[in-house]
């Protein structure tokens, strides 16, 4: 059975002190919750991964990285490898976020390499993709999402997919306050699951968690999460506030 997941992407926010405080608050808020088949993940900046992981030890909160480089090692100033993440006991990495694609030129081909490097190091991947507003307006959103998934993930073996979580994040909904409607999210998630079923098997597709991301907040989380093919959310802005993030966890 696929897991439900609420993941907080902190992006380039929070000092060391704020990061520790935030995770502690979330931890306190969720201690008495029964998280049945639900995973809670936070993705702080690289520099706080170890500190936050130390704070969450023994709690249900898992810690993920926001990115990694595709190369194993070498002269890549400022970069972090999959092996480095593993060496500090980080088991999950977000790849393909639209901000990485847009500001840092991460193409499908680069992402395919990153995916392979992560899997070679036994990292779980939260793989993000989604269309820009123009694609949606011109009715190309299914085509765009299909090619993003096909180009980066359809070379993988069925076994590899046990380490893949998908995150549909329409770019026009990220950080804009505008959310895809629950029906728009469901429509795309069902399309994605079908795509995976056609390429692999129905059984495999049924076991892949597909998260929605883009302006999820306490006021809309429950309705979005109520959709059959929405298995949780990747949360940006609202994950920086412990109360909001907790409310979103409770909505799942």
Q: Are strands 164-168 and 4-9 parallel, antiparallel or unpaired?
A: unpaired
Taking the least distance from each CB to ligand PGA, the nearer of 44 and 214 is 214
Residues carrying an active site annotation: 97, 169
Burial 102-115 (b: 16+ CB within 10 A, else e): eeeebebebbbebb
Q: Which residues contact 95 (CB under 8 A, 6 or more apart)?
A: 67, 68, 111, 114, 115, 118, 125, 126, 127, 128
Taking the least distance from each CB to ligand PGA, the nearer of 9 and 246 is 9
Taking the least distance from each CB to ligand PGA, the nearer of 101 and 141 is 101
Least distance CB 97 / ligand PGA (angstroms): 6
Can you tell me which of 96, 130, 232, 237 binds ligand PGA, judged by CB under 6 A?
A: 237
Residue span binding ligand PGA (CB under 6 A) among the ranges 66-74, 184-192, 218-226, 229-237 = 229-237
Q: Does the protein bind ligand PGA through residue 215 (CB under 6 A)?
A: yes
Looking at the chain, which runs of residues are DSSP E strands? 4-9, 38-43, 61-65, 92-95, 124-129, 164-168, 210-213, 232-235
Residues contacting ligand PGA: total by CB under 6 A: 13
Distances (CA, A) of 28 to 23, 123, 162, 165, 239: 9, 28, 30, 27, 15
Q: Does the protein bind ligand PGA through residue 170 (CB under 6 A)?
A: no
Site string for ligand PGA, 173-192 (x = CB under 6 A): -xx-----------------
Q: Does the protein bind ligand PGA through residue 96 (CB under 6 A)?
A: no
Q: Which residue has 């070379």 as its token pair?
A: 155
Residue nearest to ligand PGA (CB): 236
Site string for ligand PGA, 111-150 (x = CB under 6 A): ----------------------------------------
Q: Which residues contact 139 (CB under 8 A, 6 or more apart)?
A: none
Do residues 96 and 144 lie in contact, with contact meaning Cβ atoms separated by under 8 Å? no
Q: Does the protein bind ligand PGA through residue 232 (CB under 6 A)?
A: no
Residue span binding ligand PGA (CB under 6 A) among the ranges 49-57, 138-146, 151-159, 168-176 = 168-176
Least distance CB 206 / ligand PGA (angstroms): 24
| Assigned token pair, 172 | 């026009």
Q: How far apart are CA 160 and CA 236, in angstroms?
A: 27
Contacts with ligand PGA, residue ranges (CB under 6 A): 9, 169, 174-175, 213-216, 234-238
């Amino acid at each position: 059975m696929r897991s439900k997941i609420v993941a907080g992407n902190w992006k380039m926010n929070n000092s060391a002190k704020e990061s520790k405080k935030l995770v502690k608050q979330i931890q306190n808020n969720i201690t008495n919750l029964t998280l049945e088949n639900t995973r809670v993940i936070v993705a702080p900046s690289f520099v706080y991964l170890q500190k936050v992981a130390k704070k969450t030890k023994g709690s249900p909160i898992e810690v993920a990285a926001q990115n990694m480089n595709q190369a194993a090692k070498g002269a890549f100033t400022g970069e972090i490898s999959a092996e480095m993440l593993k060496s500090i006991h980080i088991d999950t990495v977000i790849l393909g976020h639209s901000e990485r694609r847009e500001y840092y030129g991460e193409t499908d081909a680069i992402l395919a390499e990153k995916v392979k490097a992560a899997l070679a190091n036994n990292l779980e991947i939260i793989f993000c993709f989604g269309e820009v507003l123009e694609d949606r307006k011109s009715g190309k959103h299914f085509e765009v999402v299909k090619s993003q998934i096909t180009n980066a993930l359809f070379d993988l073996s069925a076994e590899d997919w046990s380490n893949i979580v998908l995150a549909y994040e329409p770019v026009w909904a990220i950080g804009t306050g505008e959310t895809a409607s629950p029906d728009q999210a469901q429509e795309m998630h069902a399309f994605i699951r079908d795509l995976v079923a056609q390429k692999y098997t129905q059984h495999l597709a049924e076991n892949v968690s597909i998260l929605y991301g883009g302006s999820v907040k306490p006021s809309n989380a429950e309705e979005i999460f109520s959709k059959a093919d929405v298995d949780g959310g990747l949360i940006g802005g609202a994950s920086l506030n412990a109360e909001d993030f907790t409310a979103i966890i409770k909505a799942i």
